Structure 1
Amino acid sequence: MSLADNIKKLREDKELRQKEVANALDIGYSNYNKIENGNREISVKELQRLAEFYNITIDQVINLNGGLPKEVVIEDKQANEQLRLISELDTDDRAIIFKMIDKMLTSKKFKDFFNKNVASL
């Protein structure tokens, strides 16, 4: 199998669309399509992003052997950074933030429940 075939197989095994993978690589859909069809070489930077996206090594992309992870997680980098910063706060400040979040989530659940049940009347 060629590198292009491996890249296509990775995407198809995860039941992803080309556009989703192109967005993860920060390239246009048509450029990604050309990579999968073997009409354009993938850059080292794009190959690194692809491996990170699938949570595998570059070697695994190049020498695809079927040992793929079961799940692809698309991370929200801003949310991860915010959680990291929250974890650096002292215990009391963290507790306040989590109480606020809990209250907001409880309010949203109540609103959703109320709207659903009022709508059915």
Structure 2
Amino acid sequence: MTVDQVINLDDDLPKEVIIEDKQAQEQLRLISELDKDDRAIIFKMIDKMLTSKKFKEFFKKNVASL
């Protein structure tokens, strides 16, 4: 029995994810060429932006319910 069979007991294998946005794909390729510290900085900035966005949405939703 393979690992895929154990994880996906209903025999549905995961589908391959294909990035359709060529610009994003190129940016990811270029980011992967950066040194470790620069990559870490970029990913920290992205995480910070996403966290801020989620917090703002959460705050708006909860203030609206008051």
TM-score by shorter chain over 0.5: yes
The structure with the largest alpha-carbon Rg is 1
Task: Give the Å deviation of 1:72.
Answer: 7.8
Partner letter of residue 43 of structure 2? Answer: F
Match of 2:61 in 1: 116
User: Following TM superposition, where does structure 1 have runs of at least 4 consecutive aligned residues deviating by more than 4 angstroms?
Assistant: 70-74
- Rounded to whole Å, the distance in 1 between the matches of 2:22 and 2:47 is 22
Identity among equivalent positions (%) equals 90
Q: Quick one: higher RCO (CA 8 Å, sep 6+), 1 or 2?
A: 1
Q: Verify the 8 A CA contact 2:19 2:25 in the aligned structure 1.
A: no
- Rounded to whole Å, the distance in 2 between the matches of 1:84 and 1:93 is 14
- Rounded to whole Å, the distance in 2 between the matches of 1:110 and 1:73 is 29
Task: Give the Å deviation of 1:88.
Answer: 0.2
For structure 2, list consecutive stretches of 5 or more residues without a partner in the other structure: 1-14
TM-score (norm 1): 0.39
For structure 1, list consecutive stretches of 5 or more residues without a partner in the other structure: 1-69
Aligned match for 1:105, one of 44, 50, 57 = 50
Q: How does 1:46-61 map to 2 (within 5 A)?
A: none
Partner letter of residue 112 of structure 1? Answer: E
Match of 1:85 in 2: 30
* Length, aligned pairs only: 52
State the Cα RMSD in Å. 1.8
- Rounded to whole Å, the distance in 2 between the matches of 1:72 and 1:92 is 27
Cα distance change of structure 1 residues 71 and 97 upon mapping to structure 2, 3 Å threshold: closer
Cα distance change of structure 1 residues 87 and 73 upon mapping to structure 2, 3 Å threshold: closer
